[in-house]
Amino acid sequence: MSRSLGVLSTALLLSLAFSETAAAQGFSVNEHGSCVMGRGGTGVALPCADASTILFNPAGIAGTLGWTVAAGVTPIYAGGGFTNDLYQTTDELDNGVVPVPHAYVSYGISSKLAAGFGFFVPYGLGTQWKTDFDGRFLGYDNNLQSMYFQPTLAYDVGKGVKIGAGFDFVVGSLKLTQRADLSEFEAAPGITFGQVGIPFHSEFSDGKLEAHNATGFGGNFGISWDATDWISFGARYMTRVKLDYTGTATFAAVPTGIVLPPGNPLSILLQLPPDQPLPMDAVLEQADLYSEGQPLSDQEVKTSITMPDQGVVGFALRATPKFTFLFDLQWMNWSVFDTLRAEFEYQDEDLVLVENYRDTYGLRFGVDWAATEKLAVRGGYLYHGAAAPDETVTALLPEGVRNEFTLGLGYQFSPMFRADLAYQHLQQNDRRGRTRDALPGQAPTVELNSGIYKFYAHLFGATLSVHF
Amino acid sequence: MDRSLRLNRFVAGALVAATLIVSACDKESLQPPTASNVSFGAQPLFTRYVAMGNSITSGIQSAGINDSLQLLAYPVLLASQMGLEIPTRTVSWTSEWNVPLMRGPGCPAPYTDLWTQTRLGGTASDDCAYRSTPIPTFINNVAYAGATALEQTTYYDPAIPPSVTDVFRTFLLGGSTPFEVVKKMQATFVTVWSGSTDIDDALTDETNPGDPSLYPDVPTFTSWYTALMDSLNTLESLEGGVLIGAVNVTSAPYVSPGGAYFLASQQPPLDAFLTVLPNCLATEPIPGTALSAPVYVPFHYGAPIMGAASAGVPTTLDCSVDEVISAVEARDMIVTVAGYNAAIEAAADARGWPYWDPNVLLLALQQQDPSSIRLFPAYSPADPQHDTEPFGWALSLDGLHPSSRAHGLIADALIIVINTAYSAGIPVIFP
């Protein structure tokens, strides 16, 4: 029996691709500072006092004096599901609560020059489905982390203009799990098990891909301009970051339970006694798929994934001493994800996957109300476009147009201590998607879509900061 | 700061914010499509229609099967008329109603010439092009050649004898039985055509056709059919169905009355070379009717004799041999099929489903147009039906399975039955 890793590895890599983008777009709601989060993610033109401007606009730390140290976490609960067209039944997303940490330190070296260091995880979430979900063949338990470490310098050049730049050192890791579909494996050269009757989505192996310590470098640049005492402008640009993953793919047998009846064509094809029932699990065990060097043995996988560049422009309008309105427009260069290439240890040819992602724009609005000298009340609204085209909406990426609403509170306990809290509700438009892949080497099409993905998330942010 | 200036800025900020929110938060984005927006084209009753059945249901014609023939089978036509999106040869796996298509030229390929036994693409009877890819996500036509009533619910009963058609059990359904697929599909509606296959082997057996040991007696068939219906009764999703009776196989033109051969032997030029013994004219009364069952000569036995006589070789047809279905055997088969159909009709009545007897359609066709289902194959090359429809235009080149045109008639007959029973309003194919 001839076996090919092509189908399985294709599926794994599709998962890889979509998981990455899922984490970056599907969950990147800029929840890396509860002050900014509370005002709808706006921060490029007017920094918060928690040093999170190291991310949101590196120029913002210029002009501060002394030390500012802040740390926080944003627990994210994501929910949703997939409603199948045919059965009208819904499989629920099985995500737990995922905490996303952030930490910042800034120091005003002089009245003009400041330095800082930021740690944030803009790609730190995953998706988890039950193992009976039909989309498990695309991935059912996926986790990705891309940790950004950013030393930053900023300078006040005068006349209200500040500039800043950060160097991003990125460490990435990922875990992907999925079931392999026997019907897409080859039973003989050029003939798949599906072609002799094995039903679609007959699971026979559980694949897990893990990769840690992928590293990449990038930069984050910002500029701000306080045009008057009541209006400020800001812009930032974060470069793309290429992460080179070297990981391990491991596989474990999953019983199929399939027993082909006597007279089946597979027995004929494999020259086995045709008048006997044929247990597929015995056939697969005899095929010795999991031994060293075999297609489903532990093996190395290499791939590279590029985080897209992003740019943000915005302005802040201090309408009254107590009310500030903030507006940001964000662009993300998702079109860098047009194809992905990966290499499996026991496969002769690289895999080239077509993605066809498109750039997205996000629109953000925030309001900050200084209710008292110590208490700030915030609110905001975000709108994001969808990066994935209609043909690549999958269980790994239940992604689409989103509307998000935020509330926040900030309290200055003393000149030294402050705390910020925020809540964000993410509501994604329902979107048609799929639970099956195209054939290896073929681009997916919308004809594969077989249901509707729903997605929402509740985010709770808390940041404590100290200034001295 | 001037109070009015502050107010203006506040209003301006609020207005810009409102404008942005309204422009982004448009009606479409806040009222996304829901699952109901993508519901299938058919009425809810037929959304998950599944066809259970036999070789006819699966689409076999001219002793072969391929994607083209499968897409011309009556369940596909019926599903299409119901409003379901059906597959095509090029887009065969993402439709609302799916078929486990066999890649061309077939598995095996159908005859293109009965007399030379030539198959499509010049392939052999044991050649197989396997299933088309990609395979469908789900399957609505769960019929396969050789599917007896027993095999609707089990594969592994010792009562299931090995057959050359066994490959189709796996090719089309993998490790599942038809009922298991129906259950998995959460079928809302089924058509069940079972019974004909149970007796088909007795018709086509080359050594002793008509042998009663080759088909189940009525109580056995009834028990199998009851088991099938009991299984279907467990499906909460199932809202309706049609039970289809078995074809009276002795009226299929694959077998011809001995009298038809006798008449041919009386006509020139065969009268000089073909002798048909009087035992070929024997008949046996059918109990409870005014009819008699004749001797039946299967095509596979009669054709070589006719070929020899046509070639000028003196030949005798002796109907006392095992290769011919005796009048007694024919009577028993006819009575048995009637017993099958009584059981099927009773099952339909018990479930409150309509029953359709295909023999009514076949008889009507024969009476209205003898060229539709011939009593005697068009052996003579001079016969206008000899090359393309030797068993009649309603039959394919194997004399057992309907032609594509006949599949349309079957679909229409079922549509009328369904419309009557369920007030469905499904349009017929041939108005």
Q: Which residues pair with A145 in a beta bridge?
A: A173
Through-space distance between the first and last CA atoms of chain A, rounded to whole angstroms: 71
- The pLDDT, as a whole number, for residue B3 is 53
- Quick one: tokens of B256? 């011809």
Q: What share of chain B is helix, strand, coil (3-state, %, to 5)?
A: 45, 10, 45
**Identity of the residue numbered A258:** I
Q: Are B194 and B149 in contact (CB under 8 A)?
A: yes
Contact B194, B225 (CB under 8 A): yes
Q: Which of B6, B34, B169 sits opposite A263 (nearest CB)?
A: B169
Instruction: Note whether A283 and A253 are within 8 A (CB).
Output: no
Contacts of B138 in chain A (CB under 8 A): 86, 200
Closest CA to B181 of B133, B227, B137: B137
Question: Hunting for tokens 């009015």 — which residue is that?
Answer: B4
Tell me which chain A residues have a C-beta less than 8 angstroms from the C-beta of B167.
Answer: 263-265, 268
Nearest residue, CB atoms, B32 vs list A85, A86, A429 = A429
Kind and range of the H or E run holding B355: strand B355-356
Query: Helix axis angle, B218-233 relative to B327-351, nearest 10°?
Result: 20
The whole-number pLDDT of residue A328 equals 97
CA nearest to A448, candidates A209, A138, A157:
A138
CB < 8 Å to B128, chain A: 265
3-state secondary structure of B351: helix
Residue A320, Cβ neighbours under 10 Å: how many? 18
Tokens of A285: 């065990």
Question: Residues B201-221: what's their mean pLDDT?
Answer: 94
Report the alpha-carbon distance of residue A79 to residue A74 in Å, rounded.
16
A185 vs chain B: nearest CA distance in angstroms? Answer: 12
Q: Please state which CATH number belongs to domain A2-467.
A: 2.40.160.60
Tell me the residues of chain A between 103 and 132 that have a Cβ less than 8 Å away from chain B.
Answer: none
Tell me whether residues A194 and B131 touch, CB distance under 8 A.
Answer: yes
- Asked if A344 and A299 count as a contact pair (C-beta separation under 8 A), the reply is yes
- Mean pLDDT, residues B207-218 taken together: 95
Provide the token pair at B213. Answer: 């040991």
DSSP code of B112? E
Residue A263 C-alpha, separation from nearest chain B C-alpha, in angstroms: 5
Mutation target among A88, A280, A390, A391 for the B interface, most CBs of B within 10 A: A88
Q: Which of residues 144-163 of B touch A (CB under 8 A)?
A: 155-156, 162-163
C-alpha gyration radius of chain B: 28
Q: Collapse the DSSP code of B256 into the 3-class scheme (helix H, G, I; strand E, B; otherwise coil) and give the result.
A: strand
3-state secondary structure B56-70: HHHCCECCECCHHHH
The answer to whether residue B30 neighbours chain A at the CB level (below 8 Å) is: yes
| Nearest chain A Cα distance for residue B135, angstroms | 6
Q: Which residue of B has its CA nearest to A81?
A: B35
Average pLDDT of chain A is 87
Tokens standing for residue A104: 């910042």
Answer whether B171 sits within 8 Å of A197, measured CB to CB. yes
Residue type, A247: G
What are the pLDDT tens digits along chain A (468 aa)?
A: 333 333 334 333 333 333 333 333 444 657 899 999 999 999 899 999 899 999 999 999 999 889 999 999 999 898 999 998 888 889 999 888 888 899 999 999 999 999 999 999 876 567 889 999 999 988 898 877 789 999 999 999 999 999 999 999 999 988 888 899 999 888 999 999 999 999 999 999 998 888 999 999 999 999 999 999 999 999 999 999 998 999 998 999 999 999 998 889 999 888 888 888 999 999 999 888 888 888 788 889 888 888 888 999 999 999 999 999 999 999 998 888 777 776 888 866 666 666 778 899 999 999 999 999 999 999 999 998 998 899 888 887 778 898 999 999 999 999 999 999 999 999 999 999 988 877 777 778 888 888 999 999 999 999 999 999
Q: How far apart are CA A277 and CA B217, in angstroms?
A: 27
Per-residue model confidence (pLDDT) at position A169: 97
Q: Which of A43, A27, A118 has its CA nearest to residue A324?
A: A43
Please judge whether B94 and A192 are an interchain contact, meaning their C-beta atoms are less than 8 angstroms apart: no
Q: Are residues A430 and B138, on separate chains, in Cβ contact within 8 Å?
A: no
Q: Has residue B201 got a pLDDT over 90?
A: no
Touching check for A319 and chain B: CB below 8 Å? yes
- Cα of first residue to Cα of last residue in chain B, in angstroms, is 83
Does residue B7 surpass a pLDDT of 80? no
Residues of chain A with pLDDT > 90, as a percent, come to 56
CB-based contact, B90 to chain A, within 8 Å: no
Scan for tokens 């007030």, then name that residue.
Answer: B423
Core vs surface per residue A172-187: b (16+ CB within 10 A) or e: bbbbbbbbbbbbbbbb
Tell me how far apart the alpha carbons of residues A327 and A92 are, in angstroms, rounded to a whole number. 35
Q: Is B244 helix (H, G, I), strand (E, B) or coil?
A: strand
**Amino acid at residue number B194:** S
Q: Residue B220 has what DSSP assignment?
A: H
- Cβ distance A262 to B133 less than 8 Å, yes or no, reads no
Cβ distance of A265 and B128 shorter than 8 Å: yes
d(CA A383, CA A388): 16
What are the pLDDT digits (tens) for B64-112?
A: 999 999 999 999 999 999 999 888 877 777 778 999 999 999 999 999 9
* Exposure class string for B208-233: b at 16+ Cβ within 10 A, else e: ebbeeebbbebeebbebbebbbebbe
Contact B32 A430 (CB under 8 A): yes
What ipTM, to 2 d.p.? 0.88
Q: Which two tokens stand for residue A33?
A: 């500072």
Pairing of strands B292-294, B111-113: unpaired
A197 touches chain B (CB under 8 A): yes
CB pair distance less than 8 Å for A327 and B34: no
Whether the per-residue pLDDT at B33 is higher than 70: the answer is no
And the tokens for A119?
Answer: 């740690």
Confidence of residue B321 (pLDDT cuts 50, 70, 90): very high
Q: What is the pLDDT of residue B6?
A: 56
Q: Report pTM.
A: 0.85
Is B393 touching A (CB cutoff 8 A)?
A: no
Using a CB–CB cutoff of 8 Å, tell me whether A212 touches chain B: no
What are the start-end ranges of the H helices in B284-371? 299-310, 327-351, 358-368
Closest by CA to A463, choosing from A14, A101, A30, is A101
pLDDT at B27: 39
Query: How, if at all, do strands B189-193 and B49-52 pair?
Result: parallel
Handedness of CA B226, B230, B235, B239 (dihedral sign): positive
For the stretch B144-163, pLDDT in tens is 999 999 999 998 888 888 88
The model's confidence at residue B40, banded by pLDDT at 50, 70 and 90, is: low
Q: Is the CB of residue B18 less than 8 Å away from at least one CB of chain A?
A: no
Cβ B9–A319 below 8 Å, yes or no?
yes
CA A272, A203, B85 angle in degrees (round to 5)? 100
- Which among B143, B352, B392, B159 has a CA at the least distance from the CA of B256? B392
Three-class SS of chain A:
CCCCCHHHHHHHHHHHHHHHHHHHHHCCCCCCCHHHHHCCCCCCCCCCCCCCHHHHCHHHHCCCCEEEEEEEEEEEEEEEEEEECCCCCEEEECCCEEEEEEEEEEEECCCCEEEEEEEEEEECCEEEECCCCHHHHCCCEEEEEEEEEEEEEEEEEECCEEEEEEEEEEEEEEEEEEEEEHHHCEEECCEEHHHHCCCCCCEEEEEEEEEEEEEEEEEEEEEEEECCCCEEEEEEEECCEEEEEEEEEEEEECCCCCEECCCCHHHHHCCCCCCCCEEHHHHHHHCCCCCCCCCCCCEEEEEEEEECCEEEEEEEEECCCCEEEEEEEEEECHHHCCEEEEEECCCCCCEEEECCCCCEEEEEEEEEEECCCCEEEEEEEEEECCCCCHHHCECCECCCCEEEEEEEEEEECCCCEEEEEEEEEEEEEEEEECCCCCCCCCCCCHHHCCEEEEEEEEEEEEEEEEEC
Contact predicate A98/A126, CB 8 Å: yes
Average pLDDT, chain B: 90
Q: Which of A383, A430, A451 sits opposite B24 (nearest CB)?
A: A383
Which among B9, B24, B136 has CB closest to A230? B9
Q: How many CB atoms lie within 10 A of CB B411?
A: 23
Q: What angle do CA A407, A412, A413 make, to 5 degrees?
A: 125
H/E element, B274: strand B274-276
CA B356 to chain CA mean position, Å: 14
Answer whether A199 sits within 8 Å of B21, measured CB to CB: no
pLDDT at A37: 96
Higher pLDDT, B41 or B17: B41
Q: Does B22 touch chain A (CB under 8 A)?
A: no
Using the structure block, give the residue that is written with the tokens 């606009």: A57
Could you say which of A323, A400, A430 has the minimum Cβ distance to residue B34? A430
| Residues with Cβ within 8 Å of residue A89, at least 6 apart in sequence | A83
Question: What are the backbone dihedrals phi and psi of residue B27, each rounded to the nearest 5 degrees, phi first?
Answer: -60, -40
User: Which residues in chain B have Cβ-Cβ distances shorter than 8 Å to A280?
Assistant: 175
Q: What local confidence, expressed as pLDDT, does residue B30 receive?
A: 39
Residues of B in contact with A265 (CB under 8 A): 128, 130, 167, 170-171
Question: Can you tell me the distance from the alpha carbon of A194 to that of B172, in angstroms, rounded to the nearest whole number?
Answer: 10
CA distance linking residue B154 with residue A251, whole number of Å: 33
> On the CB side of B295, how many CA atoms lie within 13 Å of its CA?
23
Separation between Cα atoms, residue A409 and residue A421, nearest integer Å = 5
pLDDT, tens only, B364-413? 999 999 999 999 999 999 999 999 999 999 999 999 999 999 999 999 99
Q: How far is B65 from chain A (nearest CA, A)?
A: 15
B17 CB within 8 Å of a chain A CB:
yes
